[in-house]
Amino acid sequence: MKDKLLLIQKHLKQGTLRKMWAQSKWILQYGRRYWKSMVLYTLLGIAGSGVSLISSLISKDLVDIITGHQTGKLLATFAAMIGFSLANILVSQASGYASTFINLKVDSEIKNDIFAKMLVTDWESLTAYHTGDLVTRWSSDASNISNGILNWLPNLIIYTFRFVSALAVVLYYDPTFALFALLGIPFSALLSRPLLRRMRNNNQKSAAMNAKMYGFNQEAFSNIQTIKAFDLIRFYTDRLKSLQTEYIRMRLDFQKMSILTSVLMSIIGFIVSYSCYGWGIYRVWSNAISYGTMTMFLSLSGTLTSSVNSLASLIPTAISLTISAGRLMDIVEMPQEDYSQDSAVEKFGKQHRQEGIGLIMKDLDYTYRTGTKVFSGASLEAYPHEIVALVGPSGEGKTTMLRLILSLLKPQKGSFHICAGRNEKEQLAMSPSTRKLFSYVPQGNTMFSGTIAENLRNVKPDATDEEIVEALKLACAWEFVEKLPDGIESEVKERGGGFSEGQAQRLSIARALLRKSPILLLDEATSALDVVTERKVLKNIMQDTYPRTCIVTTHRPTVLNICSRVYAIRDKRCEVLDEEAITRMMEDF
Ligand SMILES: Nc1ncnc2c1ncn2[C@@H]1O[C@H](COP(=O)(O)OP(=O)(O)OP(=O)(O)O)[C@@H](O)[C@H]1O
C-alpha cells in the first residue's frame, strides 16, 4: 500500500497524471464534435450484445426442449435461434460498416484540422522539429486519436453493458456459477499491471522511432544524387540496417512480454472455462440445473471473460491515446500566427494596385531563439519600380532579412510597415496577413512535378497561355521553353528534374512574376544564371510596367549597378552603399 502511494506521489510530482488529464481533456474536446457518431456506434454495439445474449437464452431453451427438460415448440424455438443468429450477423456487419465509415470521416476531418493548425503555427517554433517527425505526428498520431475518439468511450459502455447483462443472467439462474466465471478477473488484473507500465514507455519509444525512420527515408530519397556523389551508398544502407535493428529489437522486446502475458492469460482462460465446465456438469448431475442452462452458462462465461479482457485492453489504448494527444499538443499548442489583418491587407492591396506597394523597416533588432543575434538597429526601404539588393558575406543575415519581411520571424524591436507607393504616411503594419502581397523565390529548386504550365498556374489558376508566355519571357525562360517539343506543356520532374539549375530558377522566377504580387523577393534566385542572363532578367523586371517592388539577395556584385539601391549587411545593420563602394565591389569581384 505504501509502495502504491509512493508511486502515485512520484507520478504526481513528475506531473504525469496532470499531463494525462490535460491530454484526455484535449481528446474529449475533439470527441464532443462527434458525439452523434459515438452514440450511433454505442447503440449498434449494445444492440449486438443484446442480440447475442438473447441467442444464448434461446439456445438454452432449444437444448432443454431437445433433452426433454422443457416442453415447447421445437421448430419455433429453432427458427427464433436462426433468426437471432442472422440478426447477430447483420448487426455486427452494420456496426462494422458504420464504424469504418465514421472512422474514415473523422480521421480525415481531424487530419485536416491538425494540418491547418500546423500551417499557421509560428514558423520558427515549427522548425525546431524534423519534418519526418512532423509527418509522423500528423499521420499516425492523428489516426490514433480519431480511432480512439470513435471507439474508446463507446467500447467502454458496450463492454460494460455486455459484462453487466451477462452477469445479471448468470446471477439470475445460478449465482454460484458467477463465482467460477469471474475467477480469472483478479489474475488478469494482476497480469495487466507490468504490461501497462511498459506500454507507455514502449509507445513513446515506438513513436519516436517511427519518426526517426521516416525522417531518414525522406532525407535519403530526396538526396540520392548527393549519396551517390559522395559514395555514401554503403554508409546509408548500413545506417538503415542499424535503424531497422534498433526498431526490431524494440518491437521484439515488447512482443516477448506480450506473448508471455497472453500465454498466461490463455492458461487462466482454460482454467476458468474448465472449472465452469466441471461445475456445470456437477450442477446438472445433482439436478440443480438443466442441460440447457449449462450450455447457456458456458457461452456466458466466455462472454464474461472476453468482456473483462476487452475492458482491460482499454487501459493500454487510453495510454497510447494520451501519448498521441501529447505529441499533437506539442505542435498545435505552439504559438500561432496572427492573420487578423487579412481583410485590411486585401483592401489596402486593392486600393493601391495602381501605384504599387513599398516597404519601410526601421531600427529592427532580431535574435533567433538559439541566441544568434542577426540585426541590431537595421533599417531598409524599397518602393515600386525599384530593385533593391541585399549583399553581404555568407551568414550575415540576408535570408533572415527576407524572413523578417515575410513576417516568418518577428523582430524584437523596431517598426516595420508596408506603404502605399512611396507615401510613408499611408501605411499598414507588416504581419502574416501582409504575406499575400508578396511573391518569394527562395534558394534552391522549388518546381513541382507536372507540366511547366501547371507549375505556373499553381499561383494563378486562371492564367491564360499568353500570360504564361509573357511571364516566361520576362524571366528569360521563353528562349528555352519555346524550343521544347511540347512548349509550356513540357513535363517538369520532381524538384525541377529534367531542367538545368539555371533553367529551373528562371521557371521559378516566371511563376513568381505571373502572380503579379506588388512585392517580389528573390533569395539568390539568379545565382545559377550566367551574368548576362542574370542582368537581363533583372532589367526585364525593372522595365515591366507592373508597379513591382523587388528585393534581391545576391553574392555576385555584377548586377549591383542596375539596382536602385544596394544595402550591405554588416555589423548587424543594413548600410546603403554609394556608387563608389559599388564600383569597388564590382572591381574586386
Ligand atoms: N533557423 C535558424 N535558427 C537559428 N539561427 C539561424 C537560423 N537561420 C539562420 N541562422 C543564423 O543566422 C545568421 C544569418 O543567417 P542567414 O541565413 O540569414 O545568412 P545569409 O546572409 O542569408 O547567408 P547565405 O549568404 O549563406 O545564404 C547565421 O549566423 C545563421 O547561422
Atom of ligand 1 nearest to the CA of 555: 25
Q: Is the CB of 394 under 6 A from ligand 1?
A: yes
- Most informative mutation of 396, 401, 553 for ligand 1 (most atoms within 8 A of CB): 396
Q: Which of 123, 373, 398 to mutate to test the pocket of ligand 1 (most atoms within 8 A of CB)?
A: 398
CA–centroid distance, 127 to ligand 1, in Å, is 13
Q: Is 368 in the pocket of ligand 1 (CB under 6 A)?
A: yes
> How many residues in total does the chain contain?
589
* Ligand 1 mutation pick, 400, 402, 527, max ligand atoms within 8 A of CB: 400
342-588 adopts what CATH topology? Rossmann fold (3.40.50)
Pocket test for ligand 1, best of 369, 373, 399, 556 (most atoms within 8 A of CB): 399
What CA–CA distance (Å, rounded) separates 91 from 102? 16
Report how far ligand 1's centroid is from the alpha carbon of 374 (Å): 8
The secondary structure of 142-206 as a DSSP string is: HHHHHHHHHHHHHHHHHHHHHHHHHHHHHHHH-HHHHHHHTTTHHHHHHHHHHHHHHHHHHHHHH
**Domain ranges in the chain with CATH number 1.20.1560.10:** 33-332
CA-closest residue to ligand 1 atom 25: 394
Kindly report the protein residue whose alpha carbon is nearest to atom 24 of ligand 1.
394
Indicate which residue's Cα is closest to atom 7 of ligand 1.
368
Q: Ligand 1, atom 18: nearest CA belongs to which residue?
A: 397
127 ligand 1 Cβ < 6 A:
yes
Distance 372 CA to ligand 1 centre (A): 9
- What's residue 11's pLDDT? 47
Measured distance CA(191)–CA(186) in Å, rounded? 9
Q: What's the ipTM?
A: 0.97
Q: Which of 164, 128, 142, 205 is nearest to 46 (CA)?
A: 164
- Could you give the CA distance from residue 550 to residue 8 in angstroms, rounded to a whole number? 62
Q: How far apart are CA 51 and CA 86, in angstroms?
A: 10
Ligand 1 contact via 393 beta carbon (within 6 Å): no
Closest C-alpha among 105, 114, 107, 103 to residue 138: 114
Complete DSSP assignment for 84-117: HHHHHHHHHHHHHHHHHHHHHHHHHHHHHHHHHH
Closest by CA to 167, choosing from 155, 153, 175, is: 175
Contacts for 423 with CB less than 8 Å, ≥ 6 apart: 355
Tell the residue nearest (CA) to atom 27 of ligand 1.
Answer: 394
> Ligand 1 center to residue 432 CA distance, Å?
21
Relative to beta strand 357-367, strand 373-382 is antiparallel
CATH number for the domain whose boundaries are 33-332: 1.20.1560.10
Q: In angstroms, what is the span from residue 125 Cα to ligand 1's centroid? A: 16
Q: What is the pLDDT of residue 1?
A: 46
Looking at residue 191, its pLDDT comes to 65
- The ranges of the chain annotated as CATH 3.40.50.300 are 342-588
Instruction: Identify the pLDDT of residue 12.
Output: 46
CB of 278 closer than 6 angstroms to any ligand 1 atom: no
Are 58 and 81 in contact, with CB atoms under 8 Å apart? yes
What is the β-pairing status of strands 450-451 and 573-576?
unpaired
Beta bridge partners of 416: 361
Q: Is the CB of 336 under 6 A from ligand 1?
A: no
Of 502, 407, 489, 417, the C-alpha closest to 453 is: 489
pLDDT at position 561 is 77
- The pLDDT, as a whole number, for residue 7 is 47
- Which of the listed residues 370, 374, 380, 526 should we mutate to test ligand 1's pocket, taking the one with most ligand atoms within 8 A of CB? 374
Strand-pair partners of 381: 360
Mean pLDDT by 10 residues, the chain (589 residues): 50 63 82 82 85 83 77 78 84 81 82 88 88 86 84 87 88 82 71 65 78 85 81 89 89 78 75 80 85 83 81 79 87 88 93 91 93 94 92 88 93 93 88 92 81 90 92 92 92 81 90 90 83 84 84 83 88 88 76
